[in-house]
A and B are shown apart, each in its own frame.
Chain A
Amino acid sequence: MEQTRIDESLKQVCREIAGEEASSNVGKVRSASAARFAESGFPHRKHEAWKYTNLNALLRDATTDEQHDFGSVPQWCYTVSDVCLVFVDGEYREDLSNLPELAGVSIENSRTSPALVESLKGKDAATDLHSVADLALASSEHGGVIRVTADFDSTKPIAVVELTSGAKVQHSLWHSMVCEANSKAEVLYVQQGTSGTSVLANSLLSVHVQANAQVDVTKVQFGTSGTLHVDSTVIHQERDSRAKLVTITTGGKRRNNVYMGLGGEGAHSDLSGLTLGSGSAHIDNNTVVDHTVPHCTSSELYKTVVGGKAHAVFSGKVFVREHAQKTEAYQSNRNILLSDDARATSIPQLEIFADDVRCSHGSTTGQLDEEAIFYLRSRGLSHDKARALMLHSFAAEVVEHISNEHIAETVLQAVEQQLATM
């Protein structure tokens, strides 16, 4: 079996962390996660959920570049937000961040902050928290801690920006968020990689949404060839809470893990994703929506446009546990292939153990509808214009899920720019 140096050295790091004496809660969580990662390392391809993404293989030629630039924080991240937390190679950059004295948001040490662990409530239910999330729990140095109280009153989202310079072969980050009962908050989470190197950026966002709280998370993931992004989102919802996660990915090499746990009656989850991949992009979205109690609803829509030799994977599992009667769960995956060599792999899975539920899933993969293009041409649109209009509309359906109109507008522009090159 092939093992790269990164995998082995990370296991060694985790072995050491696991050996440290842990007395606090957070210490215990770290230590347990470290022990698990030290045992398993990166997920093996034999693991069904990782069949199409072999981290060891993708990092075989890992190279760093000390001189490399991390680029710059997209200006719009500052303008749409009140709070903007910027991390470069896993380190918090106060000089680039905007963190006013605002109750609820802080940067804390991952080793000691009890707040981080609080967001993981219910994690035991997430039986298959991937080992990469364990790695983030174990080895993150510090991360953003967001506590949203019921009186938190900002119309602007909290922004988290992660940049990679290529100077470090790997880094992990763990951010956590607790949305207290009856609160409402929005998070914009932007990730941008680098080119010319081959490094790993591993991140985890854990969110605990308490009773009747509402949270909107928008992830904007700009693709670059030099960074392998592994991103995990774990959200636990209590009674009557509403959580929305929109993930927009414009390319690169990436694996996204999403776990949505509906653990309180009356909770609603809304997941959507748009993946655009060209060149040799590899984008693997793995989602789990877990209905554990009655009367919850979830809806999931993932769309993909791939060209070149890109490969996109959508693997979406919906669990309806035995007691989760009256569940309504809908899942849809739509893929457009723009070239002969582009691939889309779709693995929808429903596992239903309750008998009084309404669930559906659907998956389609195909080329742009030539009949539709002809129809548009017959009204005066050129072939290119017709194609662009159809791709725009296909993508816009996901972008429209973004609640914040300023973010939606900016994202739509970025999406259009990307589509124009495909």
Chain B
Amino acid sequence: MSALLDVKNLTAGIEGKTILNGLNLTVNPGEVHAIMGPNGAGKSTLSSVLAGREDFEVTGGSAEFDGKDLFDLDPEERACEGLFVAFQYPVEIPGVSTTNFLRTALNEQRKYRGESPLDAMDFLATMKEKMKVVEISKDLTSRSLNEGFSGGEKKRNEIFQLAMLEPKLAILDETDSGLDIDALKTVANGVNTLKNENNAFIVITHYQRLLNYIVPDFVHVLHEGKIVKSGDKSLALELEEKGYDWIKDEVVA
């Protein structure tokens, strides 16, 4: 089976400053990967580069997504190919309702794949079903996208979009930051319901807490722009206990 995401020796940065410095990562369908690391390790840069944020520059290495050169694709093409990033800071878009936006997004993706657009009835039926998964209220989906949403509501809305768009690979960029335990459980529960043998998740986090609820198959430690240690879920617990300093020491040694 070929990998869903294959990142090789990736170097990237912003405004001439190198942040990712030879990163390697392979993700297969059905897997959940956690990427942990201290502030400044390059976690957000990694998700930005994979999502296609234009202010970041890829200076070396490669990334293949489902057999295609990821860096050859525009952000919208990546989305249509099945890549989804749940952002750390979802943008507020006044005037655009979540419902209207998602119908447009879903049908754009279907068009890309040569499928006919979902009619209003089918769309609403799908929406109703997925709203249950993330316990999101009708009130929230009819409001302007993220406008005036609490931190927890924004993150839940990201997972709701994930549920609606059914990507092959979802990257959760510090989705757990700033969430209370109830919101965290709701988010994790949504991810666990959506997880199957054909899709994969990359969970980027600063805290081990989320990994009590979304159990990773692999845990990677990001430090100074590259993955310096990989292990199973016990690595996350070790990090929680000892902090990141011992990793740094180990790397230096």
Contact = CB atoms under 8 A, between A and B. Distances in A.
Given A374-B53, A374-B75, A379 B95 contact: no
Interface residues of B, number: 32
Interface stretch (A16-24, A122-130, A392-400): A392-400
Interface residues of A, number: 20
Interface in A372-422: 372, 374-383, 385, 389-390, 393-394, 396-397
Contacts of A380: 76, 79-80, 105-106, 108-109, 112, 165
A379 B90 contact: no
7 contacts: A369-B93, A375-B90, A377-B75, A380-B112, A393-B94, A393-B144, A397-B94
A371 interface: yes
Nearest to B144: A393
A396 B144 CA distance: 12
Interface of B: 51-54, 74-76, 78-80, 84-85, 87, 90-96, 100-102, 104-106, 108-109, 112, 144, 161, 165
A390 B91 contact: no
Nearest to B95: A393
Contacts of A385: 104, 108
A375 B173 CA distance: 14
A362 B9 CA distance: 49
Nearest to B111: A380
A371 B91 CA distance: 7
Interface centre among B95, B101, B161 (most CB of A within 10 A): B95
Contacts of B102: 379
Contacts of B53: 374
Given A380-B108, A382-B108, A372 B79 contact: no
Nearest to B53: A374
A380 B74 CA distance: 10
A198 B85 CA distance: 54
Contacts of B108: 380-382, 385
Given A379-B79, A379-B165, A372 B112 contact: no
Given A379-B165, A380-B106, 8 more contacts: A376-B105, A378-B79, A378-B87, A380-B105, A380-B165, A381-B76, A381-B104, A397-B95
A397 B94 CA distance: 9
B112 A389 contact: no
